Amino acid sequence: MRTVKFGLIGCGLMGREFGSAAARWCHLTEMDVRPEIVAVCDTNPALTTWFTEHFASIKQVTAEYRVLLANPEVEAVYIAVPHHLHAELYCAAIKAGKHLMGEKPFGIDQEANRQIMECIGQHPEVFVRCSSESPFFPAMQQIGTLIEQEAFGRLIEVNSGFLHSSDMDINKPINWKRLLKFNGEYGCMGDLGMHACHMPFRAGWVPKNVRAVLSNLVPERPDGKGGKALCETWDNATLLCTASDRDGGEFPLTIKTQRIAPGHKNTWYLEILGMKGSARWSSKQVNTLEIMTYTGGQQAWQVIDMGHEMAFTSLTGGIFEAGFSDSILQMWAAFLYELVHQKPLKRFAGCVTPQEAATSHRLFTAALQSQRERQVVELS
Ligand SMILES: NC(=O)c1ccc[n+]([C@@H]2O[C@H](COP(=O)([O-])OP(=O)(O)OC[C@H]3O[C@@H](n4cnc5c(N)ncnc54)[C@H](O)[C@@H]3O)[C@@H](O)[C@H]2O)c1
């Protein structure tokens, strides 16, 4: 079993998810590689305690990311920090020769993403991927297999999205997601968009153009100190794109990211409608995949319970439904598998590539322009 020694920078919500996934690596029964967290870094020292309490492997705790990156024992890093720090920290890690799992949106804006891409270009020896766990749910994996089998025929329409609703409460105090400085002008697209783009991009359905309608539904929120603060970023985004399939057939692709979607706590969905076959899945009914195969005659949707059909074999019995933390564990398995084997286990069991992340920046930047000009914008 090959061990990859990891440094973790950013010990918040997602940093802990990685810690937890690493701690239950024994759940994956056929891996020939495992992560070991040897160093942690956070500017808030209180957050490193959970790690040192649970991981005997940690030898270095620091508040200064440069110190962690100078540690020769660290082979790879996971950097889970707010968006305005992505370019600085990702570039520093790549230049230090550390393999990198970065968080989305992989740079706060297109310029930050360009800097990261330039560093990657200068260091081809470093393996870099961006986090997005949505394709690792069993139903998404099955849809990926159907795409590979070309089961959909001529595409009619593809709809992908990621919906939240907690910002519907207008009395909820402002957080970093509504501030330009921390989340960038993309707003909900930077925060949620990569998840909605991952499957279509991996399928090769790259938008050629976009007409975006972006909404700032709650322009002001309590600032948490008794006053009001301006909300500077977009709450909701609906992107209508023209995409084309491998044969050049064009079809509408919608990518929706919403922070105010009534009733949706954390809903990933993908719907593919084709002349030969169709499929749809939403994390609202995580275990349920709907498929329709059309060969003439009656058009009937099949409803399939997915159980635990994961890309990377796990201990969990095949009948048991999957959840968020399972998809995170699978995503980490995909990162380590590709790091060691230099190719993903299969096409839809790979983490977001830097090129796919860069495409999302082209799309979101074009969407901002489309909103400003109220026009369709071609992707450069
Ligand atoms: N993949 C997903 O499903 C998912 C979910 C949520 C967030 N995210 C992404 O993960 C990233 C982090 O989000 P989060 O929700 O974990 O945020 P968080 O606020 O919970 O954690 C971020 C941590 O970074 C630390 N930090 C800030 N500056 C630092 C620095 N200079 N050096 C070291 N540590 C520093 C903060 O103290 C904080 O503990 C963001 O890019 C976000 O978009 C991804």
Nearest CA to ligand 1 atom 2: 132
> Which residue among 103, 182, 335 is best mutated to probe the pocket of ligand 1, counting the most ligand atoms within 8 A of its Cβ?
103
The answer to whether residues 112 and 173 belong to one domain is no
Q: Which of 100, 130, 160 is the last residue of a domain?
A: 130
Q: Does the C-beta of 17 come closer than 6 Å to ligand 1?
A: no
Provide the edge-to-edge strand list for the sheet that holds 128-130. Answer: 60-62, 33-41, 2-9, 76-79, 99-102, 128-130
- CATH number for the domain spanning 13: value is 3.40.50.720
Q: What is the pLDDT of residue 268?
A: 96
Q: Does the C-beta of 9 come closer than 6 Å to ligand 1?
A: yes
- CA 103 to CA 116: how far, in whole Å? 12
Q: What is the pLDDT of residue 245?
A: 87
Q: Does the C-beta of 11 come closer than 6 Å to ligand 1?
A: yes
Kind plus residue range of the DSSP H or E element containing 129: strand 128-130
Give the residue from 70, 61, 122 showing the smallest Cα distance to 93.
70
The answer to whether residues 209 and 313 belong to one domain is yes
> Which residue among 17, 60, 77, 81 is best mutated to probe the pocket of ligand 1, counting the most ligand atoms within 8 A of its Cβ?
81
Q: Which domain holds residue 118?
A: 2-130
Kindly tell me the burial class for residue 54, based on how many C-beta atoms sit within 10 Å of its own C-beta (0-12, 13-18, 19 or more).
middle
> Which residues, at least 6 apart from 25, have a Cβ–Cβ distance to it below 8 Å?
31, 34, 35
For residues 88-99, one letter each, b for 16 or more C-beta atoms within 10 angstroms of the residue's C-beta and e for the rest, the string is ebbbbbbebebb
Q: Which of 130, 155, 174 is the last residue of a domain?
A: 130
Q: What is the pLDDT of residue 292?
A: 98
Q: Does the C-beta of 196 come closer than 6 Å to ligand 1?
A: no
Q: What is the pLDDT of residue 127?
A: 98
Give domain status of residue 327, yes or no. Answer: no
Give domain status of residue 239, yes or no. Answer: yes
Nearest CA to ligand 1 atom 21: 12
Give domain status of residue 290, yes or no. Answer: yes
The answer to whether residues 227 and 94 belong to one domain is no
Give domain status of residue 324, yes or no. Answer: no
Q: Does the C-beta of 134 come closer than 6 Å to ligand 1?
A: no
Give domain status of residue 346, yes or no. Answer: no
Ligand 1 centroid–CA 92 distance in Å is 17
> Which residues, at least 6 apart from 42, have a Cβ–Cβ distance to it below 8 Å?
9, 10, 11, 12, 15, 48, 63
Q: Which of 85, 103, 130 is the last residue of a domain?
A: 130
- CA 304 to CA 300: how far, in whole Å? 13
Tokens 């001529």 appear where? Answer: 154
Ligand 1 centroid–CA 93 distance in Å is 16
Give domain status of residue 19, yes or no. Answer: yes
Q: Does the C-beta of 103 come closer than 6 Å to ligand 1?
A: yes
Q: What is the pLDDT of residue 380?
A: 78
The answer to whether residues 27 and 92 belong to one domain is yes
Nearest CA to ligand 1 atom 19: 12
Q: Does the C-beta of 12 come closer than 6 Å to ligand 1?
A: yes
The one-digit pLDDT tens for each residue of the chain (380 residues) are 999 999 999 999 999 999 999 999 999 999 999 999 999 999 999 999 999 999 999 999 999 999 999 999 999 999 999 999 999 999 999 999 999 999 999 999 999 999 999 999 999 999 999 999 999 999 999 999 999 999 999 999 999 999 999 899 999 999 988 899 999 999 999 999 999 999 999 999 999 999 999 999 999 999 999 999 999 999 999 999 999 988 889 999 999 999 999 999 999 999 999 999 999 999 999 999 999 999 999 999 999 999 999 999 999 999 999 999 999 999 999 999 999 999 999 999 999 999 999 999 999 999 999 999 999 999 97
> In the structure encoding, which two tokens stand for residue 320, read together?
């048991």
The answer to whether residues 369 and 257 belong to one domain is yes
The answer to whether residues 120 and 168 belong to one domain is no
Q: What is the pLDDT of residue 266?
A: 96
Give domain status of residue 253, yes or no. Answer: yes
The answer to whether residues 119 and 150 belong to one domain is no
Give domain status of residue 332, yes or no. Answer: no
Ligand 1 centroid–CA 37 distance in Å is 17
Give the residue from 165, 208, 182 showing the smallest Cα distance to 363.
208
Ligand 1 centroid–CA 14 distance in Å is 6
> Which residue among 20, 42, 175 is best mutated to probe the pocket of ligand 1, counting the most ligand atoms within 8 A of its Cβ?
42
Ligand 1 centroid–CA 296 distance in Å is 50
DSSP 84: G
